[in-house]
């Protein structure tokens, strides 16, 4: 019995690990909330529905990335290249997009709040975004 119990514990922990949701990693960047991935190349990445809240993606290359319905609340996207990205229905509450490249980015239905910071002269209304109060 003494030899069987450690074996049962080991097998159980292996099975639990195998059944756990794996963290997606792209070019060394873990796709999780609070990740720190400045200057990372995430161009054309499939990031639909991911949660990157409070992530640091400063100067990241997200050209052509699919961020449809992603959560980027309070993410640092300063100087990020989001050109041609799909950001439909993305949540950007408090996100910092100062000096980000949003050329050709589809932000239709994306949500932001009064704390969201945009590049100079960017108009969220023209982009089809929705201001959420509160």
8 Å CB contact between 107 and 129: yes
- Number of C-alpha atoms within 13 angstroms, CB side, residue 14? 6
CATH of domain 32-129: 2.160.20.80
pLDDT band at 3 (very low <50, low <70, confident <90, very high): low
* pTM across the whole model: 0.83
Sequence ranges of the domains in the chain: 32-129
27-64 pLDDT, tens digit per residue, is 999 999 999 999 999 999 999 999 999 999 999 999 99
Distance CA 74, CA 55 (A): 7
pLDDT score recorded for residue 16:
42
Chain Cα centroid distance, residue 105: 15
Calpha distance 2→37 (Å, rounded): 46
CB contact at 8 A, 52 and 71: yes
DSSP annotation string for 32-69: STT-B-TT-B-TT-B-TT-B-TT-B-TT-B-TT-B-TT
Residues 66-93: what's their mean pLDDT? 98
Q: Which contiguous run of DSSP H or E holds residue 100?
A: none
């Amino acid at each position: 019995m003494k030899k069987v119990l450690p074996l049962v514990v080991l097998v159980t922990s292996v099975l639990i690990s195998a059944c756990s949701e794996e963290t997606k990693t792209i070019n060394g960047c873990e796709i999780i909330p609070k990740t720190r991935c400045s200057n990372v190349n995430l161009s054309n990445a499939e990031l639909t529905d991911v949660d990157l809240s409070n992530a640091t993606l400063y100067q990241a290359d997200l050209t052509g990335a699919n961020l449809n319905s992603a959560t980027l609340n309070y993410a640092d996207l300063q100087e990020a290249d989001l050109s041609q990205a799909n950001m439909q229905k993305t949540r950007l509450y408090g996100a910092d997009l100062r000096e980000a490249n949003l050329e050709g980015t589809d932000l239709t239905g994306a949500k932001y709040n009064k704390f969201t910071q945009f590049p100079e002269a960017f108009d969220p209304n023209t982009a089809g975004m929705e201001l959420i109060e509160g």
